[in-house]
Structure 1
Amino acid sequence: MADPVARDRMVAGAADMIRRRGLNATSVRELAKHASAPLGSTYHYFPGGKQQLAAEAVTFTGDHIARLLTEYLRPGPIEGLRSFLALWRKVVESSDFRAGCPVLAVSVEDLPDGESAPHQAAATAFAQWTALLAASLREHGAGEAAAESTATLIVAAAEGAIAMSRAERSTTPMDRVAAQLESLVRAVTTPAQGG
């Protein structure tokens, strides 16, 4: 009989390992061990193997961040931006710069031919976050084009800042990106002044 708790634990464990090591440096055996699950159960729950597990881990992360982002954006885009970036700062700092975003980790890795599910899951997650940010920006006065391009820039800049912070072992890139993004969000959501 299937145990959904064990399956969910494997997906969450895979997301954790991928955010620390990347997909190609992580084996199914290691994923099972990390989730305290028998290796055979991994193939039982994920007959598509590592690629299926990775895609589900990315989807899990994407959905989790989307739920948080929805809450963060309730007061408005500035507050949402601050909370979104603070979340990633906490991930990076609490892992001593060893962990980042599993969505980014999967999206930049080469995958075997015909194994596109993890990349598709990453694209879906990024699109989901971008859509939430764009909607908040539009609700607070940004035009359609500005909302879309600013939301894309927020996601891309946040992911890049995470990678740079890990490489530099410093949150300075995140701090600089946060300041610039906040200025941009203020600019696109401020109604034009009459004169």
Structure 2
Amino acid sequence: MDTHERMVRGAVDLLRRRGLSATSFRDLVAHTSTPRGSIYHHFPRGKEQLVEEAVHYAARQVSATLEREFRAGAVEGVRAFLAIWRSVVVDSDYRAGCPVLAVALEEHPENEGMTLLQAADSALAEWAALIAAALKAEGVSPERADRLGTFVVAAVEGTVAMCRARRDAGPLDDVGAELDELLVGALRQARSKRPG
């Protein structure tokens, strides 16, 4: 792994643990054991560029997993989405969450940070679209599939925050059970409307 990727991956880890404001270049250099002088070589636009790349990196990692898991079906893919975040919160002893959500929730100075908000919005929208596409492929109407995609992402992201606050994975298990029922019901309803 080259220095650039190590720094981006390190930024993902710091964002999911500390949030945007508490993630500094000094912390990143210490966390990744990279030379301080390489920061502006790899990220000439500074912290905003680093964080934007970290958000895109995190989004791609989750999207790649979802694309692979959705081959087995929509319900299985959503279970995998929940499993990703369960692993993040449990393996970190409830100290880490979603780096994309961390960036989306930060207050940005006026006229600054729009690129970061757009990156976060793009990541969340991509995950919702992948979920919706899997549901559409199994016959759920486009309108309902789009709503369900948004709902799943919002439910899971909110539940990750609850797990961190409670230091317990129970909320993810509860939401997972409800999402299973909701999606199985949506798929059953879609199948019942198919002709013949």
SS at match of 1:111: coil
**Which of the residues 41, 47, 50 maps onto 1:50?**
47
Displacement of 1:171 in angstroms is 0.8
How many residue pairs are counted as aligned between the two chains? 191
Displacement of 1:112 in angstroms is 2.6
Cα deviations across residues 52-93 of structure 1 (Å, max 9, x unaligned)?
Answer: 101100000001110011011110011111111011101100
1:162 & 1:96 partners in 2: Cα distance? 13
**Which of the residues 117, 120, 129 maps onto 2:115?**
117
TM, length-normalised to structure 2: 0.94
- Tell me if structure 2 keeps the 8 A contact 1:141–1:188: no
1:29 & 1:50 partners in 2: Cα distance? 11
1:96 & 1:164 partners in 2: Cα distance? 14
Alignment of structure 1 residues 107-186 onto 2, 5 Å: 107-113=104-110, 114-186=112-184
Q: Note the aligned Cα RMSD (angstroms).
A: 1.3
TM, length-normalised to structure 1: 0.94
* Structure-2 residue corresponding to 1:192: 192
In the alignment, structure 1 residue 31 sits paired with structure 2 residue 28: yes
Displacement of 1:115 in angstroms is 2.2
1:125 & 1:35 partners in 2: Cα distance? 24
2:109 & 2:32 partners in 1: Cα distance? 24
- Tell me if structure 2 keeps the 8 A contact 1:28–1:49: no
Cα deviations across residues 127-158 of structure 1 (Å, max 9, x unaligned)?
Answer: 11111110000011211111000010000101
Alignment of structure 1 residues 14-29 onto 2, 5 Å: 14-29=11-26
- Tell me if structure 2 keeps the 8 A contact 1:130–1:151: yes
* Structure-2 residue corresponding to 1:61: 58
* The structure with more helix, counted as a fraction of residues: 2
* Structure-1 residue corresponding to 2:84: 87
Gaps of 5+ in 2: none
In the alignment, structure 1 residue 40 sits paired with structure 2 residue 37: yes
SS at match of 1:73: helix
Letter in 1 for 2:192: A
Gaps of 5+ in 1: none
1:82 & 1:154 partners in 2: Cα distance? 11
Cα deviations across residues 22-69 of structure 1 (Å, max 9, x unaligned)?
Answer: 010111111122111112211111111111101100000001110011
**Which of the residues 7, 12, 15 maps onto 2:9?**
12
SS at match of 1:47: coil
2:159 & 2:192 partners in 1: Cα distance? 30
